[in-house]
A and B are shown apart, each in its own frame.
Chain A
Amino acid sequence: MTIDWTSFTPWSALTGGVIIGIAAAMLALLNGRVAGISGIVGGLLRPSFPDFTWRVAFVAGLLVAPILYATVATLPPIIVESGYPVLVIAGLLVGVGTRYGAGCTSGHGVCGLSRFSLRSVVATVVFMIAGFATVYVVRHVIGT
């Protein structure tokens, strides 16, 4: 293993993480909800539209964040290397997987681990291993 020291950004990562933690704290203490993005978005697609208003409001906040950020600072580059077919397959897998697995990096990874939830610990270990394995296959088995 070689660490990529030129890309490694520990301070902005830690600062951003703390801000994400504050956002999760706000949603838990003010709305009584877990900040799981896949669950919040997925709930908008249910036939009965449960709690439509706060879900739409949260997603609107996510969408407005880069616009507001860009008014005071320069947005960091958003680099997407994947082509469109890969993005479609990846999107489908993330959509189906997060709903069956009842969470993603935010719901299980941040909120679930903070709550010491066994389900979230298991889910986080599983999707991390699957992510590591996929990148290994794509970059070092197929890519070479």
Chain B
Amino acid sequence: MLAASAFFAGLVFGIGLIVSRMVSPAKVLGFLDLAGRWDPSLAFVMVGAIAIGVVAFGWARKRSVTLLGTPMLLPQAGAVDGRLVGGGALFGVGWGLAGFCPGPAVVALGAGQPKALVFVVAMLAGMLLFEFTERMRARAKAPVPIQTAQPSRDARC
């Protein structure tokens, strides 16, 4: 049941990205190009999505279980730190370079766009790189004296 609802949520999300035309990187770059001929469309996508989101998350916050009776697993409020800001900055640069963010890239891949495949493979490699550095960092922190390499600070952004 949770798999079915997740599938339909993904399907509806993808259709929203297609209808809004954000699936096209040229459209996204038109929004990010403030100094050129600016296309404000992406701001309208955000307004439409957040208008529904505010109501939905306001309702979800008051509940401890979902409508299907499973636990509500929304994230807890956390602190702003260097990882958040550094990661956000790296993501923004990558987004501005090609005009792809994760959602539209996956949908464009489903549409058979070969350049989306290249982007998604590189994105997965970047995510694996993160998993790898996180594991190195956890190992460097662990009190096992066998480790000869110096704990690197490179893992932090």
Interface residues of A (CB under 8 A from B): 1-4, 7-10, 12-35, 37-38, 41-42, 45-47, 53-70, 75-82, 84, 86-102, 104-106, 108-111, 113-115, 117-119, 122-124, 126-136, 138-140
**Is B141 interfacial (CB 8 A cutoff)?**
no
User: Are B33 and A139 closer than 8 Å at their CB atoms?
Assistant: yes
Contacts A13-B41, A30-B5, A42-B127 hold; do A129 and B122 have CB atoms under 8 A apart? no
Chain A residue nearest to B129 (CB atoms) is A96
* Most chain B C-beta atoms within 10 Å of own C-beta, residue among A2, A4, A56, A94: A94
Interface of A is mostly: helix
Check B87 against A32 for contact (C-beta < 8 Å).
Answer: no
Q: Once the chains are docked, how many angstroms separate the CA of A81 from the CA of B86?
A: 27
**Contact call A94/B91, Cβ cutoff below 8 A:** yes
Q: Give which listed residue, B13, B89, B116, contacts A97 with CB less than 8 A.
A: B89
Q: Report the minimal beta-carbon distance from B79 to chain A, rounded to whole angstroms.
A: 8
* A62→B74 contact, CB < 8 A: no
Number of A-B contacts (CB under 8 A): 505
- Tally of B interface residues using CB under 8 Å: 119
Cβ proximity bits B25-44 to A, threshold 8 Å, 1 near / 0 not: 11101101111111111111
Provide 26 A-B residue pairs closer than 8 Å at the C-beta atoms, listed in order of the A residue: A14-B47, A20-B48, A22-B12, A25-B53, A26-B5, A29-B66, A32-B72, A37-B103, A54-B2, A60-B10, A61-B8, A62-B106, A66-B108, A80-B25, A81-B29, A82-B115, A86-B97, A90-B94, A91-B105, A91-B119, A92-B122, A93-B126, A99-B87, A101-B88, A139-B33, A140-B36
Known contacts: A28-B56, A94-B126. The answer to whether A102 contacts B21 by CB under 8 A is no
Alpha-carbon separation in the docked complex, A84 to B30 (Å) = 20
Given A28-B74, A31-B9, A136-B35, CB of A62 within 8 Å of CB of B52: no
